[in-house]
Structure 1
């Protein structure tokens, strides 16, 4: 949908990938560093937790033992479901072309992007299709120009201006800089402008920038609904991330995005402990050679019972919010809450192997000629669903062709609530199988922005998932993982000059 100049994208990506591969200054080789920690625990094996293990290994070297606790499947909210002979994505499905951490991961792990299958988009208001993409770019452009003027181009420029600032984080991390709070991280990227975006709704921001309410209702809202299941009243920052997620060039991993997580886990040489962490407490141990040392006792439960282990550093990479975690903290002063304020938003993912009832969409086009594969929805009373899409398997064979709507195939429906049989009967002429996954997928983003939980919960206890309250996305988790690994390293070794530095953009530009 949102079209950026591919030459601009590739040039920018090459620049930052060049910075990435030039190699960060080797902090671990400095002669004044103390001995590395002996044991580190990471709680959670989603993209955030496994990326944290990867970056911790990079920072602390081969000597430290890293344990990753995960009671479920590795991958977390990156998940697949098998229907018939094939597997399909049910969680995080697409990656932006400028997500440099994710690009680096697949290069490092030797995996590849999935083959792209061309798709066409339409917008549904609950009664009929209000917009349908043509196979011809010029026709799409003229249709949009006629109804919305130059709003699409202006939206592209607005998102790109935010992306330009966002991309600074890769430079900062390349040079080893880290931040103690999400707000400080955002401020380093976009100064006060990003914090302002956190405290305004997307609607308020875009209206003040001259976009029409019609454009927001008919184009912007369908994008926020498919990406975050919420309206244009989400924060402007996560709204910008959502609009970037409607860009061209989006990609996915061949074999499923979750294999990045298992690959990072393997590459980090971490030990996966299939157990649920129940509590974390701080323990003081006297030292024979110096002052009293504190450790963290991680208590966990698996099929064989309960156990515990002591760690020098602990990173929590699972949300500490109601419905997402039941970890308790004891012995901390000030106390650490088990749940932070705010709630996670439910999105239900329903996969249906069946034949679509195209008349449900208010179209008279015969199913054999209906070639739309992505149907977004407006924020209207008639829309019971957030989106409807024809999806492809996680591995695309060379001879694969997406079946037409007149044939049985797999459709993915996002909705705020589980679909009833009556709703499914209305949407599909026939159903061979149905798979439902209920996700507490991302926070409910309602400005004004409340202060995000800190990255540092205690001296050497870190909270990775704080970043989700700015925006929930695979790359945001990877950026947060890099930040936490750097932060843990610098604080362990007392390198305060690498933490919370201001005016980094000007400083690094001078060094370059």
Structure 2
């Protein structure tokens, strides 16, 4: 066979092209975000299967691909604060009852999992100061506005403008995360959204911030304090950013998942085919490795101790004095962990007949409210009272009027005494009490308070610390995606995707 010079040149070109592709393949993989199996972490551990844990599992699965095994450790129940309980043969939300319409990650999860929004059941609210109703909602929007103006001037408009400004800046995070930008600290994330002003909002109280924009003290005492107490069981001394998130939810546009909000968590874990271990993590130990650190997770599963090794570990459960007690071993220097505590909230689910006369309605048929908020007064023994709808709402469903037995949720700082229950209810069939460390105990704000770190070690991350900046279902999801992106970008040394300055302008010029 005679080989022509043209064939030789063609073969040479083919070999050169093949060599070029082999040399540039790793670079192309990095640029496109699709790494080869040898570049990927072997195993990833996620501690906690609440909103934060299930969301970070989903986002890690998105970033690293299905080749990487993800083990999720949960000591209690999947869903965390998203939970349900049974009353009179029906299920009700016992945890976070509703989600704001601007919560885009949660909206995406619902669509992704094929879930549906629960049918809305309208209801009116009022605020009670212990003696009388200081504010009552009606069925007429314009009348509600007139009453607010009559009692508080334009304070409610100033409040709305303040909340909308904060939320408009907060919404920038979705654009950043869509372009796979991540932040190595909570402070850097906040600066990217609203500059130093957003960071300062974690040091300044919501009362101080609202007074600064012209909201009156009376409006804060009557309305703002009641909303904050109903959401967090704390006073208007909480940080301004936490308060803004809370007040955004108070302005309506709320929804819930048909069948229970916790379906989001179980659905995400099932979709990612994560390996869920119902076990309590006792310790995380650092082991040396030639290239990257290796972590050993030690756990207790029904009394049997076990351990597994991981390249990456994400703690998506609160680390605090009364919370998830994990010891960290072999870290030099020792890890600096959060030492703050969480605030206890007591939720009493009562099936009974409301005592409407306590609120000034001697005839129960005339009582029009589905929820009553309490002002922040020394004599108040509860935070809020809400008529609950079941997690599955049929087409013909209606709220039961006060003259009928209904299911009510009472939030209080401590378990209700019998006389207090008899004050709120004429009689009742059952009372189920849930006590939990629901939210950070924000206490007094000040410049000395520091936010918890996200990066605890090279491959060890903490996502739940974001609650000290603001706590909500969506904040947990935002923090989860940030941690997943941060872990991915740091693993592949994509430094240009981490802590970028003036990111909003950068994205505008790129587009």
Q: TM-score, normalised by structure 1?
A: 0.92
Q: Is the 8 A contact 1:126 1:384 kept in 2?
A: no
**Distance 1:508-1:418 versus aligned 2 partners, 3 A rule:** same
Distance in 1, Cα, partners of 2:136 & 2:291: 67
Alignment of 1:410-425 (within 5 A): 410-425=407-422
Q: Which has the larger radius of gyration?
A: 2
Q: Does 1:138 align with 2:142?
A: yes
**Distance 1:174-1:448 versus aligned 2 partners, 3 A rule:** same
Equivalent position to 2:288, from 284, 287, 292: 284
Q: Does 1:301 align with 2:300?
A: yes
Q: Does 1:258 align with 2:262?
A: yes
**Distance 1:344-1:31 versus aligned 2 partners, 3 A rule:** closer
Which runs of no fewer than 5 residues in structure 2 stay unpaired? Answer: 1-27
**Distance 1:293-1:98 versus aligned 2 partners, 3 A rule:** closer
Distance in 1, Cα, partners of 2:140 & 2:164: 24
Equivalent position to 2:363, from 356, 362, 366: 366
Distance in 2, Cα, partners of 1:30 & 1:87: 43
- The DSSP-based 3-state class of the residue aligned with 1:457 is strand
Q: Is the 8 A contact 1:126 1:381 kept in 2?
A: no
Alignment of 1:335-350 (within 5 A): 335-337=334-336, 340-350=338-348
The aligned residue for residue 4 of structure 2 is none
Equivalent position to 1:110, from 110, 114, 117: 114
Alignment of 1:133-212 (within 5 A): 133-212=137-216
Q: Does 1:72 align with 2:76?
A: yes
Q: TM-score, normalised by structure 2?
A: 0.92
Distance in 1, Cα, partners of 2:292 & 2:122: 58
The aligned residue for residue 500 of structure 1 is 499
Deviation string for 1:145-190 (max 9, x for gaps)? Answer: 1111121122111110111100000000000100011011011011
Alignment of 1:233-248 (within 5 A): 233-248=237-252
Aligned residues: 481
Q: CA deviation at 1:364?
A: 2.9
Q: CA deviation at 1:144?
A: 1.0
Q: Does 1:29 align with 2:32?
A: yes
Q: Is the 8 A contact 1:96 1:247 kept in 2?
A: no
Q: CA deviation at 1:382?
A: 2.3
The aligned residue for residue 87 of structure 1 is 91
- The DSSP-based 3-state class of the residue aligned with 2:44 is strand
**Distance 1:511-1:383 versus aligned 2 partners, 3 A rule:** same
Distance in 2, Cα, partners of 1:249 & 1:401: 20
Q: CA deviation at 1:374?
A: 1.1
- The DSSP-based 3-state class of the residue aligned with 2:453 is coil
Distance in 2, Cα, partners of 1:31 & 1:415: 50
- The DSSP-based 3-state class of the residue aligned with 2:452 is coil
**Distance 1:215-1:172 versus aligned 2 partners, 3 A rule:** same
Deviation string for 1:190-218 (max 9, x for gaps)? Answer: 11111121111111111121111001001
Q: Is the 8 A contact 1:369 1:404 kept in 2?
A: no
Alignment of 1:431-442 (within 5 A): 431-442=428-439
Distance in 2, Cα, partners of 1:266 & 1:45: 12
The aligned residue for residue 22 of structure 1 is none
Q: CA deviation at 1:458?
A: 0.5
The aligned residue for residue 10 of structure 1 is none
The aligned residue for residue 249 of structure 1 is 253
Q: CA deviation at 1:29?
A: 3.3
Equivalent position to 1:228, from 226, 232, 236: 232
Q: Is the 8 A contact 1:47 1:76 kept in 2?
A: yes
Structure 1 ranges of 4+ moved more than 2 A: 25-34, 291-294
Q: CA deviation at 1:356?
A: 0.6
**Distance 1:466-1:28 versus aligned 2 partners, 3 A rule:** farther
Distance in 2, Cα, partners of 1:62 & 1:268: 8
Q: CA deviation at 1:426?
A: 1.4
The aligned residue for residue 8 of structure 2 is none
Distance in 2, Cα, partners of 1:292 & 1:501: 27
The aligned residue for residue 473 of structure 2 is 474
Distance in 2, Cα, partners of 1:317 & 1:364: 46
Q: Is the 8 A contact 2:56 2:483 kept in 1?
A: yes
Bigger drift between 192-201 and 178-187 goes to: 192-201
Q: Is the 8 A contact 1:51 1:482 kept in 2?
A: yes
Distance in 2, Cα, partners of 1:462 & 1:364: 53
